[in-house]
Structure 1
Amino acid sequence: MGSDSKCPFAPKMNKAASANSYWWPDNINLKILNQQGANNPDPSFNYKEAFRELDVEMVKRDVNKMLTTSQDWWPADWGHYGPFMIRMAWHAAGTYRISDGRGGANTANQRFAPLNSWPDNANLDKARRLMWPVKQKYGRKLSWGDLMMLTGNQALEIMGLKTIGFAFGREDIYSPEDDVYWGPEKEMLSNDRFDENGDIKRPLGASEMGLIYVNPEGHDNEPNPTKSAHDIRQTFRNMAMDDYETVALIAGGHTFGKTHGAAPVSHQGPEPEGASIEHQQLGYLSDYGTGKGKDTTTSGLEGAWTETPIQWDMNYFKNLFEYEWEVHKGPGGRHQWRPTDKSTFEMVPDAHEKGKKNPPMMFTTDISLKIDPIYGPISRHFYHHPDEFSAAFAKAWYKLLHRDMGPVSRCLGSDVPEPQLWQDPIPSLDHELIDDEDVAKLKKQILGSTGIAGKILGSSGPCVSELVKVAWGSACTYRGTDHRGGANGARIRLAPQNTWKVNDPEELKRVLEHLEQIQLDFNEQQKGSNKRVSLADLIVLGGCAAIEYAAKNAGNDINIPFSPGRTDASSEQTVAESFDALEPSADGFRNYLKEGQSAKPEELLLNHAHLLTLTSPEMTVLLGGLRVLKANTGNSEMGVFTKNPETLTNDFFVNLLDINTTWSSVEQDKNLFDGLEYGTGKLNWKASRFDLIFGSNSELRAIAEYYGSDDSNEVFLKDFVKAWTKVMELDRFDLK
């Protein structure tokens, strides 16, 4: 059943009008929080377990055979599908963007719209169809995501490049990731994503709708290498690559294969999603000649970069630097570059016609690697240092294929290399874990140093809300998109997280000093044994202890599950610049909104909740609980709808839904509101859009009413503990 209509037989003209989003376009759509595992035939399936039965070496042999066995229905260039499969793997992995961790190959999302029908992915439907016999043979033991990446990796290996390894572990989805914002444009190959400074607006990565990176013809189809270099630098940095890696990847990828522009793209038929039913998801069927082989039209650009397009060598750089290049239009009608030396015009063996020779070609983006003041010297250095180039490409290629898989602990197989720095490594567990008795003692020590408990125990220090905030701030950086962030590693104590405004740096420092002293004392007492406690564990335990204390203040005894085993990362294991991308522009759970946000606060809340893999009820119960625990950044009173803060109750929902409260926006800030007592006008509460959306949106209001009823306190506590524990353990892959 489609999301646009309850009835699949409704006329197309009425489908849009039948959707709530048509009538009320300003309403938030909660779908992204409720589609986890959508259409999965078997949600209980465990890929990690199934993979153990896979004969990886046999798979590699089958893949290699497929790569070198040309099929008449889609003939291989030079009898070898290697370059084709490199493009397929690259375009699947290359959608990854560091801003929000979305995209990438981890889910094999290239099988679905819109990616399967982007112009930049033209004819990759044929690549996936060529792989189907291998996928069919191994079934669920080999995911599409792993097969697609392995095929590209094997292509490099059999064409002469020694890769640094490969990891399995990607799990397939069975419906498109509708939550990914790919851009504001209404037409493919258009761009409306650059700001006044010429920079691509976050979170977008590519330069045009429907492209993986940049337009190879040049910015706005203008063959200007300088402008292209600007776009290249932006897009590759948006996708987690520095200048050195960028040059290695482009040059290494263009060492192989060719582009296809035997005729203009106007000869192409509909894309896979628009193809007729009898074409069975095969798109771009061309009416030019045979439509395949020598008559293939994919991008409209035509030719190979080197005379040895199915082997790893240095001919890409040789051709780039040893010849002068001029722009012209190829047979596909698009700007591309050819050598001015006409002796090269019979250099490259034709991909399909024996005895025929062609000139090499370059894209505008290739010329950028020669003329750019940064890319140029790197390219020349690689040209004169072939071994370094091979190593640089192999490392960058591994990063490209695995960047969205998260830490090395998620990687499967015997070919996994040592953890890379970009995988955010943490120390291995090398000590005995604390037991239940230790946990109980540590909780008492933590609570003994809190302000509220201190009134009884005679000590001073951080209060309950501060302990909760530090634990939340440590864990809530996790992103389910690329499995980065989280509490493991205790990176909240390191740059840049210890300076983020959302984390209240001065308060954070004070809480960490108390926890570090407890850690030091405990570990000193364990001399002679191998038992230790990490600060990462203490940060989470502190939040748990504070919440239990807050529940007890309300007359409820609860026990929050706690699993030790986290370790503490060092600054040497942390690339601060890389972690800048994890800084939240908003954290609705702490009522924090960074200045200058164009999106509505409630939209940013949904985005954060989705990255945390939360459902709508989990998001609702967590925010309500954190409000009464007074976990707001800057100790703001916004949304703290209770007369007993730092006491865990369902007061947030009770008072939000109070029929005797009227709300009015604060004139100076349309995102802030005053809650006034009906009749008297007395100010009872202050709120933000983060708060009021739970009473304004009909779906969220239904959940708020569930938790705000007189008989809901017990279920509120149970669900809050469950959701809190989930967030605290999101990055505990050792428990999964």
Structure 2
Amino acid sequence: MNDMMVDKTNTVTHDMTGKCPFGGDRVGGAFGTPPTLENWYPDRLRVELLHQNGLAADPLGPDFDYAAEFAKLDFAALKRDIKQFLTTPVAWWPADYDNYGPQMIRMAWHAAGTYRIADGRGGAGTAMQRFAPISSWWDNGNTDKSRRLLQPIKHKYGSALSWGDLMILTGNCALEIMGFPTYGFGGGRLDAWEADNATYWGPEIWDPKDVASFDSMVTRDKRWRGKNGDADYDLENPLAASHQALIYVNPEGPYANGDPLGSARDIRITFTRMAMNDEETVALIAGGHAFGKSHGMVSAAEVGPPPEIAPMEAMGLGWNNPKGPGFAQYTMTNGIEGSWTPNPTQWDNSYLENLFKFEWQQTKSPAGALQWTPTDPNAPKTPDAHVKGQMNDLMMMTSDIALKLDPEYRKVCEKFLADFDAFTQAFSKAWYKLTHRDMGPKFRYLGPEVKIEDDLLWQDPLPERDYELVGDAEIATLKQAIMATGLSVSDLAFTAISAATTYRDSDKRGGANGARLALAPQKDWAVNRRAAPVVEKLRGVMADFNGKQAAGKQISLADLIVLGGCVAVEIAARAAGVPASVPFTPGRVDTTQALTDIEMFTWLKPIVDGFRNYIDDDFKQISQGTAPEEFFLDKANLMKLTAPEWTVLTGGLRVLNVNHDGSDHGVFTDQVGVLTNAFFVNLTDTDLVWEKTDETAMHFVLKDRATDTPKFRATRNDLVFGSNSQLRAIADVYAGSDGQHRFVKDFIAAWDKVMMLDRYDVKGHKRYAPMAA
């Protein structure tokens, strides 16, 4: 195309250099350059988030069986390859101390350390460290080099070894070659294939091009409530990191202020949000800082952009350092320079020994970052990572001094100082938890190093089933017994959905298996109170059935809760004139209160549960301006529902009336308990008009347009399926004259999917195949 074009209508000449003469004057404008929907309508409900990371993005295809491929690996040979690499020099990125171990520990830790207990997101499970925004966070500086160094091993083993598994296994191997006994390794992490556009990482507006100083990246921080030290000092939910673009806390203290006690408060909050207690926190910090060094030889202002916005010729690598060769003794990461120990490639207790033996004074790194050095000139030195024969002062970060000054952390440190074996065991278990916390039940772990015999409380263990499963004849008998209880369709459906919808795919926690609906804390949640009498009646059915069985077949409460819901749906479908059979797969077991971590399960308590039309009493205080329907969308996302599944499931639950309080909000039918498409018919009826009944627009009334007569009531979690254009398009399908049969069929499919979300023991999807039969 020509560089110049002439407008013949007015003979004005336009400079078209570098432009295309059609489709606008910006090449690529159709592919997401501003303005976009987010620019135009920043408050729109982003339903498309439900369809991220689908099979269309996956080059391995729908039939790829990762568990089967992983099982073919020569695991011992793989570990030998990794360990050989760790001490083999690579010229383009030399290792500190001729050992890549510490660098790889940091990579693995930062991959796993994004995990947060509030919504289960983050972690190493899908290797999201490869994609924006995590790949380009300031705190992940040069982790791109670590992954690129591992590329030959990844290519050698191909699709049989995911990036998620390779990164964590490499961290384990790094610890082992430096004398640390790891607790074990479980494979089974499935790589994502596109950037995560759904996870909320914080409210700050952060420009990754702004690298003038680390301090400048946190001064606009909006995630904290109260002031450091106040009783109400806390992080916005569901966040866990103390600042944008960090994994944990600012190592220089809050806002780089050098305050160790302020740092201790940040550490406690962030590590608690990452599911770690005080002992685990100290073990991880002290254990991790036994190895390697921090890098701060070059000013941040001189370092190039992160990988996501680096020039094309950088080929995915970022943070170009113009000083010297750009690596080795000129390396730049967080700006702090030095090592914590005299022997940075050997597992020992010198980190804690030196932290407590010496007094430390604040100083600055060559990059200008706050750090600490011993006041005693006779304190041990540490060898330079690259200059042979050069010895340097030891270094501590403000976040290290925090462990010494905080009274509770100090107690743990003193315990570890007195008992190195206890410290070793604590770090081993904490590292295992850190790197496996997001993987879910042990059914999903792969490989020869899985500790089958150990039940760790954070794994939400389930007892082994020691009885024979019921068959079709027994299931039919149980269905009759459930119906004989007199429990309503609504109550049975409510109880089943209450058990199942605790599931979240982010860390594979929750679900109906285990019958934790009957245990603390779930039994005491306000949203679950309606289930209590149902559970007691089902216990009676279970006791009666199991007491009569001589052949060893038994039924669990968990299975009965789900089966009760299936019975309810079948009755409701028949009442609607669509005879249907709802799938039921037995095999769930009942866990115990002792195997239920009450504190950790409390994080699963819903703020908003749109499926049961529930909004927590404290919603206004904790929502931070987020609308209920956004929480509802997030819940659907965590349950891996598509937009059609989310829509049809909600419409069915409304006509069954599974509202947590039995209210009529969203129950757009005169035939409650009958599985009709009435929710969609009335939602989309143009003869009806909606009016808000409160100034906050949380509740609404549906009136006849002609008579102004009230007909139905609703919440935002009902009307969103008519107000959002994408959801309304789906609602129209089910509201059509041919929609009833489709609605019942699709509802049952969505129902069965939700009931089976946590069944990794029998799940047919090859990617989630169990570790062993």
- Superposition TM-score, scaled by structure 1 size: 0.96
Partner of 1:19: 36
Partner of 2:438: 404
Paired with 1:682 and 1:192, the residues of 2 have a C-alpha distance of 46
Structure 1 residue aligned with 2:57, among 25, 36, 39?
39
Structure 2 residue aligned with 1:591, among 608, 613, 632?
613
State whether structure 2 residue 514 is matched by structure 1 residue 497: no
Instruction: Please tell me whether the aligned partners of residues 17 and 23 of structure 1 are also in contact (alpha carbons under 8 angstroms).
Output: no
State whether structure 2 residue 695 is matched by structure 1 residue 695: no
Map 1:522-533 to 2 at 5 A. Answer: 522-527=545-550, 529-533=551-555
Paired with 2:447 and 2:287, the residues of 1 have a C-alpha distance of 25
State whether structure 2 residue 85 is matched by structure 1 residue 63: no
State whether structure 2 residue 200 is matched by structure 1 residue 181: yes
Partner of 2:578: 556
Structure 1 residue aligned with 2:544, among 502, 521, 534?
521
Map 1:445-456 to 2 at 5 A. Answer: 445-450=481-486
State whether structure 2 residue 93 is matched by structure 1 residue 74: yes
Structure 1 position 668, deviation (Å): 5.2
Please identify, of 257-266 and 384-393, the stretch whose mean Cα deviation from structure 2 is larger: 257-266
Instruction: Please tell me whether the aligned partners of residues 688 and 703 of structure 2 are also in contact (alpha carbons under 8 angstroms).
Output: yes
User: Match of 1:405, SS?
Assistant: coil
Partner of 1:720: 747
Structure 2 residue aligned with 1:91, among 110, 119, 124?
110
Instruction: Please tell me whether the aligned partners of residues 553 and 648 of structure 1 are also in contact (alpha carbons under 8 angstroms).
Output: yes
User: Match of 2:378, SS?
Assistant: helix
State whether structure 2 residue 511 is matched by structure 1 residue 477: no
User: Match of 2:271, SS?
Assistant: helix
After superposition, give the CA deviation of every residue in 1:181-209 in whole Å (9 maximum; x if it has no partner): 10111126322100133211100000110
Partner of 2:10: none
Structure 1 position 448, deviation (Å): 1.5
Instruction: Please tell me whether the aligned partners of residues 207 and 231 of structure 1 are also in contact (alpha carbons under 8 angstroms).
Output: yes
After superposition, give the CA deviation of every residue in 1:490-524 in whole Å (9 maximum; x if it has no partner): 00000000011111x2x322111110111011111
State whether structure 2 residue 642 is matched by structure 1 residue 615: yes
Call closer, same or farther: CA 1:249–1:531 in 2, change over 3 Å.
Answer: same
Structure 1 position 551, deviation (Å): 1.2
Partner of 2:343: 308
State whether structure 2 residue 386 is matched by structure 1 residue 358: no
Structure 1 position 274, deviation (Å): 1.2
Paired with 2:32 and 2:77, the residues of 1 have a C-alpha distance of 48
Call closer, same or farther: CA 1:36–1:558 in 2, change over 3 Å.
Answer: farther
Structure 1 position 343, deviation (Å): 2.0
Partner of 1:457: none
Paired with 2:298 and 2:694, the residues of 1 have a C-alpha distance of 60
Paired with 1:171 and 1:7, the residues of 2 have a C-alpha distance of 41
Paired with 1:617 and 1:176, the residues of 2 have a C-alpha distance of 23
Partner of 1:194: 224
Paired with 2:181 and 2:29, the residues of 1 have a C-alpha distance of 52
Please identify, of 11-20 and 118-127, the stretch whose mean Cα deviation from structure 2 is larger: 11-20
Structure 1 position 669, deviation (Å): 4.5
Map 1:612-651 to 2 at 5 A. Answer: 612-651=639-678
One-letter amino acid of the structure 1 residue matched with residue 462 of structure 2: I
One-letter amino acid of the structure 2 residue matched with residue 496 of structure 1: P
Partner of 2:332: 297
Call closer, same or farther: CA 1:11–1:122 in 2, change over 3 Å.
Answer: same
Paired with 1:641 and 1:710, the residues of 2 have a C-alpha distance of 17
Map 1:218-233 to 2 at 5 A. Answer: 218-233=253-268
User: Match of 2:746, SS?
Assistant: helix
Instruction: Please tell me whether the aligned partners of residues 49 and 197 of structure 2 are also in contact (alpha carbons under 8 angstroms).
Output: yes
User: Match of 1:733, SS?
Assistant: coil
Structure 1 position 225, deviation (Å): 0.3
Call closer, same or farther: CA 1:378–1:280 in 2, change over 3 Å.
Answer: same
One-letter amino acid of the structure 1 residue matched with residue 668 of structure 2: F
User: Match of 2:319, SS?
Assistant: coil
One-letter amino acid of the structure 2 residue matched with residue 36 of structure 1: N
User: Match of 2:225, SS?
Assistant: coil
Structure 1 position 15, deviation (Å): 4.9
User: Match of 2:603, SS?
Assistant: helix
Instruction: Please tell me whether the aligned partners of residues 53 and 192 of structure 2 are also in contact (alpha carbons under 8 angstroms).
Output: no
Call closer, same or farther: CA 1:30–1:154 in 2, change over 3 Å.
Answer: same
Paired with 2:490 and 2:353, the residues of 1 have a C-alpha distance of 63
User: Match of 1:735, SS?
Assistant: coil
Structure 1 position 297, deviation (Å): 1.3
Instruction: Please tell me whether the aligned partners of residues 290 and 347 of structure 2 are also in contact (alpha carbons under 8 angstroms).
Output: yes
Percent identity between the two aligned chains: 50
Paired with 1:397 and 1:27, the residues of 2 have a C-alpha distance of 40
Call closer, same or farther: CA 1:17–1:268 in 2, change over 3 Å.
Answer: closer
Call closer, same or farther: CA 1:7–1:602 in 2, change over 3 Å.
Answer: farther
Structure 2 residue aligned with 1:165, among 178, 184, 199?
184
One-letter amino acid of the structure 1 residue matched with residue 654 of structure 2: R
Partner of 1:458: none
Paired with 2:674 and 2:158, the residues of 1 have a C-alpha distance of 52
Paired with 1:539 and 1:34, the residues of 2 have a C-alpha distance of 30
One-letter amino acid of the structure 2 residue matched with residue 71 of structure 1: V
User: Match of 1:18, SS?
Assistant: coil
Instruction: Please tell me whether the aligned partners of residues 16 and 22 of structure 1 are also in contact (alpha carbons under 8 angstroms).
Output: no
User: Match of 1:675, SS?
Assistant: strand
One-letter amino acid of the structure 1 residue matched with residue 316 of structure 2: Q
One-letter amino acid of the structure 1 residue matched with residue 113 of structure 2: G
Call closer, same or farther: CA 1:35–1:225 in 2, change over 3 Å.
Answer: same
Paired with 2:90 and 2:729, the residues of 1 have a C-alpha distance of 56
Please identify, of 80-89 and 596-605, the stretch whose mean Cα deviation from structure 2 is larger: 596-605
Partner of 2:470: 434
Partner of 1:423: 459
User: Match of 2:193, SS?
Assistant: coil
Paired with 1:692 and 1:9, the residues of 2 have a C-alpha distance of 39
Structure 1 residue aligned with 2:489, among 450, 457, 464?
464
One-letter amino acid of the structure 2 residue matched with residue 206 of structure 1: A
After superposition, give the CA deviation of every residue in 1:115-158 in whole Å (9 maximum; x if it has no partner): 11100000010000010000000000000000000000111111
After superposition, give the CA deviation of every residue in 1:395-414 in whole Å (9 maximum; x if it has no partner): 00000000000011111111
Instruction: Please tell me whether the aligned partners of residues 53 and 194 of structure 2 are also in contact (alpha carbons under 8 angstroms).
Output: no
Partner of 1:707: 734
Structure 1 position 419, deviation (Å): 2.8
One-letter amino acid of the structure 2 residue matched with residue 43 of structure 1: P
- Superposition TM-score, scaled by structure 2 size: 0.91
Instruction: Please tell me whether the aligned partners of residues 305 and 360 of structure 1 are also in contact (alpha carbons under 8 angstroms).
Output: yes
After superposition, give the CA deviation of every residue in 1:535-586 in whole Å (9 maximum; x if it has no partner): 0000000000011111111222110010000000001110111100100101
Paired with 1:14 and 1:639, the residues of 2 have a C-alpha distance of 39
Paired with 2:41 and 2:345, the residues of 1 have a C-alpha distance of 54
Please identify, of 226-235 and 419-428, the stretch whose mean Cα deviation from structure 2 is larger: 419-428
Partner of 2:424: 390
User: Match of 2:711, SS?
Assistant: strand
Q: Compute the RMSD of aligned alpha carbons.
A: 1.4
Instruction: Please tell me whether the aligned partners of residues 53 and 193 of structure 2 are also in contact (alpha carbons under 8 angstroms).
Output: no
Structure 1 position 36, deviation (Å): 3.5
Partner of 2:71: 52
Please identify, of 214-223 and 38-47, the stretch whose mean Cα deviation from structure 2 is larger: 38-47
Partner of 1:659: 686
Structure 1 position 610, deviation (Å): 0.4
Structure 1 position 11, deviation (Å): 6.2
Instruction: Please tell me whether the aligned partners of residues 630 and 640 of structure 1 are also in contact (alpha carbons under 8 angstroms).
Output: yes
Please identify, of 28-37 and 697-706, the stretch whose mean Cα deviation from structure 2 is larger: 28-37
One-letter amino acid of the structure 1 residue matched with residue 561 of structure 2: I
Structure 1 residue aligned with 2:594, among 569, 572, 579?
572
Partner of 1:29: 46
* Gap runs ≥5 in structure 1: 1-5, 451-461
User: Match of 1:582, SS?
Assistant: coil
Partner of 2:155: 136
